Structure 1
Amino acid sequence: MASFGLFETSISLFCFLIFFYFLIKKHSGYIKKTLCYPWNWPVLGMLPTIILWYKRIDVLIWVLEKSNLTFLFKGPWLTRMDLLFTVDPANIQHILSSNFTNYIKGPEMKEIFDVYGDAIFTADGELWRNIRMSSMVMFNHQGFQNFLMSITTSKLKDVLVPLFNHYSEEGTVVDLQDVFGRFMLDTTLVVITGSDPQSLSIEMPEVEFAKALENAGDSVVYRHVIPRFLWKLQNRMGLGQEKKRIEAGASFDRICAKYIFAKREEIRSQGIHHDHDHSDGECEDFLTYFMKLDTSKYEHLKTSDDKFLRDSIVSLIVAMRDTTSAALTWFFGLLLENPNVETKIRHEINTNLPKTATSQERPWSAIDHKEFLNTLVYLHAALYEAMRLYPPIPLERKTSVNSDVLPSGHKIDANSTIIYPIYALGRMRSVWGEDALEFKPDRWISETGGLRHEPSSKFLVFNSGPRSCSGKHLAMTAMKIIVVEILQNFDIKLVKGHTIEPKPRLSLHMKHGLRVTLTKRCSA
């Protein structure tokens, strides 16, 4: 009888949500003008309001400001959807650092993100430690860093700049979001698998992997706002977003299987079956590194298992490709709206650019001119400021192991879900000041002209505590290289009437892309 009652409640809730959907469709014009604190309905909790506000990120910001930076969302009865939202830096510091062991990704997140597999996104405990430690060895190796920078600069010189020259001559409208997504997909796949899909070209071919990543990300967001039993039902029936998720997972399986098979054949032909420490300065792609890894050092890594390798490939692509392409897109979008910032960046580049960099025989590269990139303090500040306002990953979540009390005084039960919306954190006036919504790179410049430090619990773009992004330095270096190359060669203008607004996804994209025209700059 109890199970029948739960089923009856689920069906009633399902029917109500359908009714509610058509109701808000009918009155959407009025709803967009309405702003009020979420009402906790009987049975339904606050879910109707969340559905109402699904695509209005500004509402969450308003609610958090009214709730003193921490807000408890009450989900429908029996759905396990109660969530604690917090952008309080003290709470974030406590969760991600001070009491790190009490807050894990948890089984629910693993289930929601299952399309990506058992990788660093969802891993906990010893598996996570093994993945992180082995990855950091690779990231910190000088040969790998040079390898990554070499790939980035060659892709810029040989593909992106010639492509932009073509668009400039033809007067073609370009979607920078699409360009950066393709650029990062190509460079990332070379770094991870050694194979270049060459998705960035004049033809701009449809790329199965990119489409799968988009659909997978949409399905993850969908699972966060819909009751579990609903998306579970859709998954079993192969409907809606769940159908796209299933297709995305199949694409990941098929494409990664080809990369794994090809890499095994390559290693077998070379007759190399042992781990080495790269002390000779040679560098390899991630897939080769994992396949040769001495697992006695990392007993929880199953490097001979195709599924582990598949999950590693997918998670690394998301971590490297999606985040960097999103950050670059929003950076240039803000630059186009703030020409005074662009002028300062161009001046900084021209002032510090080495004289040898203008040589046609030997163009500048990141490897040869690391000191030059380090002088670009204002560019660094502008990139930070863009990511503060538009973080590549707009929210993160954790699950508590045991009960706890946060610095804000909020009590946490065991197995509670905590959401820290990074997008909202960067826009809190009580955290960043009354000018929090303004794009002001100068807020990152110290009185002595250096880069101002902000605690990671306040600037959460690269995460905080033990899970801090191990590729932060490489990502910032790569973005500087790309920005310098583009600004040195082209003037960019936003297409008249083009609207820039965010789209709720796993990574923060622009809803309509970033449509621009390019003009080739004359050499000095």
Structure 2
Amino acid sequence: METIHIRFRDIFPTSQTYTKMNFLRAMFTFIAAALLPPFLALSALLLRIFIGKSIRSPKYPPVAGTVFHQLLYFGWLYDYQAKVAKTCPTFRLLAPGQSLIYTTDIRNIEHILKTKFEKYSKGQYTQDILRDLFGQGIFAVDGDKWRHQRKLASFEFSTRVLRDFSCAVFRRNSAKLVRFISELSAADKVFDIQDLLMRCTLDSMFKVGFGVDLNCLERSSKDGSAFIKAFDDSNELVSWRFVDPFWKLKKFMNTGSEASLKKNVKVIDDFVHSLISTKKTLLEAQHANNDKEDILSRFLVESEKDPEGMNDRYLRDIILNFLLAGKDSSANTLSWFFYMLCKNPLIQEKTAREVKQVTGSQCDPASIDDFIENITDEVLEKMHYLHSALTETLRLYPAVPVDGRCAEEDDILPDGYQLKKGDDVYYMSYAMGRMPYIWGDDAEDFKPERWLDNNGIFQPQSPFKFIAFHAGPRMCLGKDFAYRQIKIMSMALLRFFRFKLADETRNVTYRTMLTLHISGGLHLCATPRTGLS
């Protein structure tokens, strides 16, 4: 494109007499020259979005707008997607270079996650967006790196050592949480249970993941608080990239949201690399002990076989992905769970009665440790109503509200719509939980009984219908791990307290992030249980 040169004297002549027409002509020329480059850039962007997309063809999913239209409803993005999906189960948004396909069709989801698994990947578009935060971790990679991490994680999660160690950590931190809330309850204080659960699960995940006692719950931990804030803010800023057409330019110029993301990622990196360094020193001092309990120790032992491939950066990526799965999913699920229990007090009491009946425990505060230590695997297996209530929470408020894959070649979905190579296909977990054509006319109701048979026994659904833990070869390895944590914590809290919303009139909604946080926290009041009717 030819460069446009404007000289000041060409716009404002040196003549002593200016006419109104000359002035207006000069101003028009100046403004037109200033606006021309952005106009041409916008025109080029629009051409990339609309050209070659077969917009009116019935062979392809109907168009619901462009990816940048999401800016208009970013604050309630997942509800907007649900609104569209009720009348159009599969639709697309146009983006530069490719289309983004969104679907709630169970057949399509099984097709991309299982039937044609090898023909779909994370895709360059998604990987570019996630890389700064999640690097080469399991959530952001495909191929050999994914298989390697999957194999390692599968082995670790299957070991009895990790299972016993993690359950002991979950029980110990649950007891701490009960005592902490007891003090708040005695002082008649309102508290943000999401914040407490985030701190508690972060303590648990750092102990299980790093073998480190962070103690975020017990005392003010500046490093821990800074890490939580940096991690959560980065999560939100990365989500913003999906709708921001200029994020790469802002990253290059280190300005705006990208400058904030860079600062947050540095806080995260410094914190995690410090822990890795400390852990290496500790392991060298106890090298003879091969009974490694925490995940980082076990990965560090594995890294000795391939020190170049499994370097500190790679370990950082693995651990951060593990923390996202462990801290965010558990704390978010429990936060929404207690919100739903407060909105449905009869279900709260029914769940608490099951806890008492299965455990046969008393409510004496002095028995907190005894009660929690008796939450064994056998006890957890008997908690069918609790399991159903937690699963119902995940149906309506999945930890990851939207996820997807990228077509590596042209394809046809089971619903008949065609895809072009490079198109991204997203399945909308949040929207799916609200679809009458999937769950019935009461889809938007919180109803744990939908998961129970006539004998009150929990009955699972197809993972392609209940997609909260993904499905197919990439199904979440930590599903049982997550259920154990959230069941232990919820049993402990419901055994000793009744909960209610501090403000019944407040509109509780989410932050638009990769994971489903409650916006502004969840402020509750707790009263001790003296018995159950």
Q: How many residues align?
A: 482
Partner Cα separation in structure 2 for residue 270 and residue 328 of structure 1: 37
Q: 2:42 aligns with which of 3, 6, 12?
A: 12
Matched residue of 1:207: which SS?
A: helix
Partner Cα separation in structure 2 for residue 343 and residue 394 of structure 1: 28
* Structure 1: runs of 5+ lacking an equivalent: 17-37, 277-281
CA shift, 1:523, in A, is 6.5
Shifted more, 494-503 versus 160-169: the winner is 494-503
> 1:234 — aligned with what?
250
Q: 1:189 aligns with which of 192, 203, 206?
A: 206
Partner Cα separation in structure 2 for residue 317 and residue 421 of structure 1: 23
Matched residue of 1:313: which SS?
A: helix
Partner Cα separation in structure 1 for residue 218 and residue 158 of structure 2: 32
> 1:398 — aligned with what?
405
> 1:474 — aligned with what?
481
> 1:28 — aligned with what?
none
> 2:499 — aligned with what?
492
Q: 1:245 to 1:269 in 2, by over 3 A?
A: same
* Structure 2: runs of 5+ lacking an equivalent: 5-35, 47-61
CA contact (8 A) 2:398 2:468 kept: yes
Matched residue of 1:517: which SS?
A: strand
> 2:240 — aligned with what?
222
- Measured against aligned partners, the alpha-carbon deviations of 1:217-245 in whole angstroms (never above 9, x if no partner) come to 11121111122xx0011112222221121
Instruction: Say if 2:162 is the partner of 1:144.
Output: yes
CA contact (8 A) 1:380 1:480 kept: yes
Higher gyration radius (CA) = 2
> 1:293 — aligned with what?
302
Q: 2:341 aligns with which of 335, 350, 354?
A: 335
CA contact (8 A) 2:66 2:93 kept: yes
- Measured against aligned partners, the alpha-carbon deviations of 1:54-79 in whole angstroms (never above 9, x if no partner) come to 22332221211211x1001123xxx2
Q: 1:427 to 1:10 in 2, by over 3 A?
A: farther
Q: 1:251 to 1:199 in 2, by over 3 A?
A: same
> 2:110 — aligned with what?
93
Q: 1:250 aligns with which of 237, 247, 266?
A: 266
Instruction: Say if 2:79 is the partner of 1:58.
Output: yes
Partner Cα separation in structure 2 for residue 191 and residue 269 of structure 1: 20
Shifted more, 175-184 versus 55-64: the winner is 55-64
Identity %: 29
Q: 1:444 to 1:489 in 2, by over 3 A?
A: same
Q: 1:95 to 1:283 in 2, by over 3 A?
A: same
CA shift, 1:301, in A, is 8.6
CA shift, 1:419, in A, is 1.2
Write the mapping of 1:303-452 to structure 2, written as runs, cut at 5 A.
Answer: 303=310, 305-354=311-360, 360=367, 363-365=370-372, 369-452=376-459
CA contact (8 A) 1:234 1:240 kept: yes
CA shift, 1:46, in A, is 2.9
Amino acid at match of 1:64: A
> 2:280 — aligned with what?
264
> 1:512 — aligned with what?
520
Partner Cα separation in structure 2 for residue 149 and residue 520 of structure 1: 25
Amino acid at match of 2:174: L
CA contact (8 A) 1:357 1:363 kept: no
Q: 1:71 aligns with which of 91, 108, 119?
A: 91
CA shift, 1:82, in A, is 2.1
Partner Cα separation in structure 1 for residue 202 and residue 466 of structure 2: 26
Amino acid at match of 2:152: S
> 1:284 — aligned with what?
293
CA contact (8 A) 2:63 2:93 kept: no
TM-score by length of 1: 0.86
Partner Cα separation in structure 1 for residue 37 and residue 123 of structure 2: 26
Matched residue of 2:487: which SS?
A: helix
TM-score by length of 2: 0.85
Amino acid at match of 2:163: Q
Matched residue of 1:518: which SS?
A: strand
Q: 1:3 to 1:522 in 2, by over 3 A?
A: farther
- Measured against aligned partners, the alpha-carbon deviations of 1:414-460 in whole angstroms (never above 9, x if no partner) come to 11111111100111111111111100000001123211221001100
> 2:7 — aligned with what?
none
Amino acid at match of 1:66: T
CA contact (8 A) 1:366 1:373 kept: no
Q: 1:356 to 1:272 in 2, by over 3 A?
A: farther
